[in-house]
Structure 1
Amino acid sequence: MTDPRPHHYRFAHRELARQLLEFGPQVTSPSPSGKSLLPALVQLWDTLGETLPPEDRLPSHGLDSRHLEVEGHRLLLVTLPTPAVTPEAYFAAAVLPQGAKAIRYLTLEHAVNPFDGTPGTVLGEWTTQNHLNHGQGPSPVADHFVTAVIQLTAPKKRGFWRR
Structure 2
Amino acid sequence: MTDPRPHHYRFAHRELARQVLEFGPRVATPTPDGGSLLPVVTQIWDDLGRALPPEDRLPAHGLDCRHLSVDGHHMLLVTLPTPAGATEAHFVAAVHPQGGRTVRYLTLEHALDPFDGTPGTVLGEWTPDNHLNHGPGPSPTAELFVAAVVRLVAPKKRGPWRR
Normalised-by-shorter TM-score class: over 0.9
1:117 paired with 2:117, answer yes
TM-score (norm 2): 0.96
- Give the counterpart letter for 2:53 in structure 1: P
Residues 1:107 and 2:110 are matched in the alignment? no
Is the Cα contact below 8 Å between 1:121 and 1:140 reproduced in 2? yes
Match of 2:126 in 1: 126
Unaligned residue ranges in structure 1 (runs of 5+): none
Instruction: Tell me if structure 2 keeps the 8 A contact 1:105–1:127.
Output: yes
Alpha-carbon distance between aligned partners in 1 of 2:72 and 2:49, rounded to the nearest angstrom? 36
Structure 1 CA distance, aligned partners of 2:30 and 2:61? 22
Q: Which residue of 1 aligns with 2:158?
A: 158
Tell me, yes or no, if the aligned pair for 1:98 and 1:155 is still in contact at 8 Å. no
Report the residue type matching 1:72 in the other structure: G
By how many angstroms is 1:159 displaced?
A: 3.7
Cα shift at 1:32: 2.7
Runs of 4+ aligned residues of structure 1 deviating over 4 Å after TM superposition are none
Q: TM-score normalized by structure 1?
A: 0.96
Q: Please state how far the C-alpha of 1:161 moved relative to its aligned partner.
A: 4.6
Root mean square deviation of aligned Cα: 1.1
User: Aligned letter for 2:116?
Assistant: D
Q: Report what 1:22 is aligned to.
A: 22
Give the match for residue 50 of structure 1: 50
- 1:75 corresponds to which letter in structure 2? M
The residue identity in structure 2 corresponding to 1:134 is H
